Chains A and B, each alone.
Chain A
């Protein structure tokens, strides 16, 4: 069965510091991995994805994520956090050959000024 784990309910980081939001996954076959961001009272917005190729993927708003097959992880990172990055972040996985996406429970990121 597919699953996604986001082990931290909340991550606090000071503005200007690097941030990491963790995600691990379990899927049969090749994984397609995604990060989404949700601002208050809004739908989810796509940030970045890993389908194949380079393990480091870059996305919107300066975010990047590193795919690590041996650790089955896909952590979201940003070199320098902004207060405006404060939001709820979701990791999702889709197994190749399927139409269903499985979402993690979300990590609330708070960037402190």
Chain B
């Protein structure tokens, strides 16, 4: 099992450019999440998808859109990148509604917006 995979690992964008971060999981999990990690801020939830076909805003959704393409894949799109979106982005998945509840994280995408 690969677990949770993310592409790309690194990306540099200019202000105003767009890009899509890809995430896939092979654990048959129902829920998927996108977080950003910034120094001193911990992990902040951008969007999540409780199950295939649904998406909801998290704590910091502005400037982002998401697509739950199927049960395996959950992508995050930056339509017009801004320097404030420089961060490390993590995708995670979780099995619901069992009692397990922990999340499994991908390796992250380090994004720099200049």
Instruction: Report the tally of A-B residue pairs with Cβ distances under 8 A.
Output: 55
Q: How large is the interface on A (under 10, 10 to 19, 20 to 34, 35 or more residues)?
A: 20 to 34
Find A43's partner among B40, B50, B105 (CB 8 Å cutoff).
B105
Chain A residues whose CB sits within 8 angstroms of the CB of B50 once the complex forms:
99
Judged by DSSP, the binding face of B is strand
15 extra interface residue pairs, beta carbon distance < 8 Å, beyond A46-B102, A99-B96: A6-B42, A36-B105, A42-B107, A43-B108, A44-B90, A44-B103, A45-B105, A51-B99, A90-B42, A94-B101, A99-B31, A99-B48, A99-B94, A104-B42, A105-B41
For the complex, give the distance between the alpha carbons of A9 and B39 in Å: 11
Of all chain B residues, the one with the shortest Cβ separation from A96 is B101
For the complex, give the distance between the alpha carbons of A105 and B48 in Å: 19
